Amino acid sequence: MDTAGLLQVGELSTPSHERLIRSHKNPLDKCTIVSIFPQEIDEVKHTIEPGKFHIDAGTYESPSILIVGSSSWWKKIDSAQPSTEIQTGSIQVAEAIVKDYCNGLLEYSDDSMPGLFYAMGEHKVVDIKLKFKGDLDKAKIRQDNWYRKLVRMADALWARTNGNPLTIANEMRLAAKSLNFNDKPWLRDYVIAEQVRCVACGSLRNPSYPICAICKAIDPSHPMSKELKFA
């Protein structure tokens, strides 16, 4: 039996990969994604290049922006011909980033979603606040609608589970804080859960502060402990 060319056990084949070269992009094909959502967003599109997008956290007063251009994907016709590049315009890329992120969220709808939108062209933050104030206002309304729905859902889950903190999603806590609903019992429970035991007396303490409120012991691992001064 001729064994030439056969793979041995444990040997991996290494198929040759076609080198994909992008054609010239239109430098004017730009789109600006705007976010007033106070959390970072990372979206990955595995079928296009470039396909990784990061949007910083933003607020209504200080929105964050991401400038996107066109992306490409490649269509294979047959093994004898190189793959054909298909360019996707910036407006389609921006729409996919916003919609794909929001589609998987609780209580998402067209009028209830994080404060995200996009505008044709490349714009700075100051331009967004001046030229697109109407879009900013609409984004805030949609985001506040989403927050209220999340708070109502959290109230229902809290009641149905007899106060189980595991049923409350982080987005629900963010919604309550953003709407200043700080009296929610499921929000107070979360703050208690975040506390740690004091190494000196064993009582719960806020890890954000270097001194225990009960026994006044100082946490030496806290970065502010070395800056403390006593009269």
Are 96 and 79 in a shared domain?
Answer: yes
Are 136 and 182 in a shared domain?
Answer: no
Are 190 and 90 in a shared domain?
Answer: no
Percent of the chain with pLDDT over 70: 85
Are 68 and 167 in a shared domain?
Answer: no
pLDDT in tens, 154-182: 999 999 988 888 889 999 999 999 999 98
> ω before 15 within 30° of 0 (cis)?
no
Residue 15 has pLDDT above 60, yes or no: no
| 14: number of Cβ within 10 Å | 6
pLDDT in tens, 30-67: 999 999 999 999 999 988 889 999 999 999 999 999 99
Q: Domain span at residue 133? A: 31-140
pLDDT in tens, 180-202: 998 998 987 665 556 678 888 88
Residue 6 has pLDDT above 90, yes or no: no
Are 75 and 108 in a shared domain?
Answer: yes
Last residue of a domain, one of 92, 114, 140: 140
Note the pLDDT of residue 189.
Answer: 64
Are 163 and 97 in a shared domain?
Answer: no
Residue bearing the bigger pLDDT, 126 or 12? 126
Are 107 and 170 in a shared domain?
Answer: no
The model carries a pTM of: 0.71
Note the pLDDT of residue 148.
Answer: 97
Are 38 and 134 in a shared domain?
Answer: yes
Are 118 and 155 in a shared domain?
Answer: no
Are 129 and 170 in a shared domain?
Answer: no
pLDDT band at 14 (very low <50, low <70, confident <90, very high): very low
DSSP 65-92: EEEE--EEEEE---TTSPPEEEEE-HHH
Give 109's Cβ-side CA count (13 Å radius): 11
CA 106 remoteness from chain centre: 14
- Average pLDDT for residues 8-15, to the nearest whole number? 41
> ω before 50 within 30° of 0 (cis)?
yes
Note the pLDDT of residue 108.
Answer: 95
- Average pLDDT for residues 94-103, to the nearest whole number? 95
For the chain, how are helix, strand and coil distributed in percent, rounded to 5?
30, 20, 50
Note the pLDDT of residue 21.
Answer: 63
For 208, the token pair is 């954000």
Are 121 and 173 in a shared domain?
Answer: no
| 147: number of Cβ within 10 Å | 23
Are 116 and 176 in a shared domain?
Answer: no
Closest to 228 (Cα-Cα) out of 123, 212, 109, 91? 212
Last residue of a domain, one of 140, 170, 189: 140
Alpha helices in the chain (DSSP H): 90-103, 125-131, 133-160, 170-178, 185-194
Note the pLDDT of residue 17.
Answer: 59
Q: To the nearest whole number, what is the mean pLDDT of the chain? A: 85
Q: Are strands 71-75 and 84-88 parallel, antiparallel or unpaired?
A: antiparallel
